[in-house]
Amino acid sequence: TLGSGSYTTALAVDSSQNATFAGNINMTNSGSGDETLTIKSTTAGDPTIAFNSAAANRNGIINFQDQGTTTGQIQYRHNGDIMKFITGGTGTNHEELTLNETAGGKFRTRLAVGGDNPGDRAVYVEGASSILELASTTSGQNASVWFRSNVSGTSADRWELGTNISQ
């Protein structure tokens, strides 16, 4: 017998065996070993995780924690269509990669392609055949590299290397 009092439905299962949970779902392995959540499609279809907020301009967030402290995140911000990859903590000082629908991608510090030690270089390319190509797909438009300096807060173009350059 359940006894007296009011009850709240925490789990509902419909006739198609779809489950709806009210509240949070916590999985805890009190022993040793990995805790695993598996989403499996046995016939056709793609296993999918959907983050759906009933309010406008909210964020979808996956937190990675170490002993209860967030040490990394993947965020999708609906206000601006921005995806952020955050490491080593939270906040703007840890946003390593930002992808924006209109502005493109931005790395916080350095980008290493084919190597793992860019040193003090903003972009480092390493490999048996290290080719960096800049291509313009529009006739009469530049494909060039600009060398600039910032002296006393004034940015000045110092040198340009490229093709189809017109001033």
* DSSP-derived 3-state class of residue 115: coil
Calculate Rg over the CA atoms of the chain: 25
**Burial call 142-152: b when 16+ CB within 10 Å, e when fewer:** eeeeeeeeeee
100-111 tens-digit pLDDT: 988 888 888 888
The mean pLDDT of 6-22, rounded to a whole number, is: 85
Which pLDDT score, from 0 to 100, does residue 3 have? 66
**What is the Cα–Cα distance from 46 to 148, expressed in whole angstroms?**
48
Instruction: Provide the strand spans (E) within the chain.
Output: 11-13, 19-21, 59-66, 69-77, 82-87, 95-100, 104-107, 111-113, 123-125, 143-151, 154-163
Cβ 47 vs Cβ 40: under 8 Å: yes
User: What pLDDT was estimated at residue 166?
Assistant: 55
Confidence of residue 66 (pLDDT cuts 50, 70, 90): confident
Q: Specify burial of residue 70 (Cβ count, 10 A radius: 0-12, 13-18, 19+).
A: middle
Overall average pLDDT of the 3-22 stretch: 83
Q: Mean pLDDT over residues 133-149, rounded?
A: 77
pLDDT at 23: 81
Residue 30, number of CB atoms within 10 A of its CB: 5
31-62 pLDDT, tens digit each: 888 888 888 888 888 888 888 888 888 999 99
Contact at 8 Å (CB) between 61 and 73?
A: yes
pLDDT above 90 (res 167): no
> pLDDT: is 155 or 77 the higher one?
77
